[in-house]
Amino acid sequence: MPGKNHNRIQHRLNVELAKRYDQQYDFLPEQDLELPTGRAVPDLAIYPNLTYDWMKDTVRMTDPPLTTIEILSPRQALTDLTDKIQAVYFPAGVKSCWIVIPPLQTVHILTPDQPIATFTSGLITDPATGISLNLEGIFK
C-alpha cells in the first residue's frame, strides 16, 4: 500500500514531467493496463500525446505505454517490480521502466536491451524517450 512518501514522489514526478514534456507526452497516474502479456497498474504511464473523447472514457489501456514508472512501496518487494517489468511490460513493447526507491532516493531505468542505469543524484536521462529530470526535483 502506498504511503505518504510514495504519494509525494508520484505527484512530484507528474508535475515535473508535465512541466517539461506536456507538448510531447501524456502522463497517466494509476492507469489500468490490459496488455497481451497481462494486466498491470503502474504508478505512472507515459504515452505519446493521446487523443481524448470526453464523452467516452477509456478505463483500460490496451496499447503499451512508452515508459512505466513504478515507485517501491514500504511493504513491497523489489522483485515484485522487476518480475512485472520482465513478464508484463517488456514483452508487451514498453520501451523503458523506471523503478524509484524512496528510502535511498534512487531511480533505476531498465530497458529491454541495455544495462540498468542507476541515478543517485543529478540528471536522470531515459534513453528510450529522451526525458531528462533533475533527481533532486523528485525528492524535495
CA distance 30 to 1: 13
Please give the model's pTM, rounded to 2 decimal places: 0.95
CA distance 13 to 103: 16
Which pLDDT score, from 0 to 100, does residue 94 have? 99
What pLDDT tens digit does each residue of the chain (140 aa) get?
A: 678 999 999 999 999 999 999 999 999 999 999 999 999 999 999 999 999 899 999 999 999 999 999 999 988 999 999 999 999 999 999 999 999 999 999 999 999 999 999 999 999 999 999 999 999 999 98
14: nearest Cα among 100, 87, 95: 100
Query: What confidence score (pLDDT) does residue 48 get?
Result: 97
pLDDT of residue 68: 99
Q: If you classify domain 4-138 with CATH, what class do you get?
A: alpha beta
Query: Look-up: residue for cell 531505468?
Result: 109
Residue 50 burial (10 A CB sphere; 0-12, 13-18, 19+): exposed
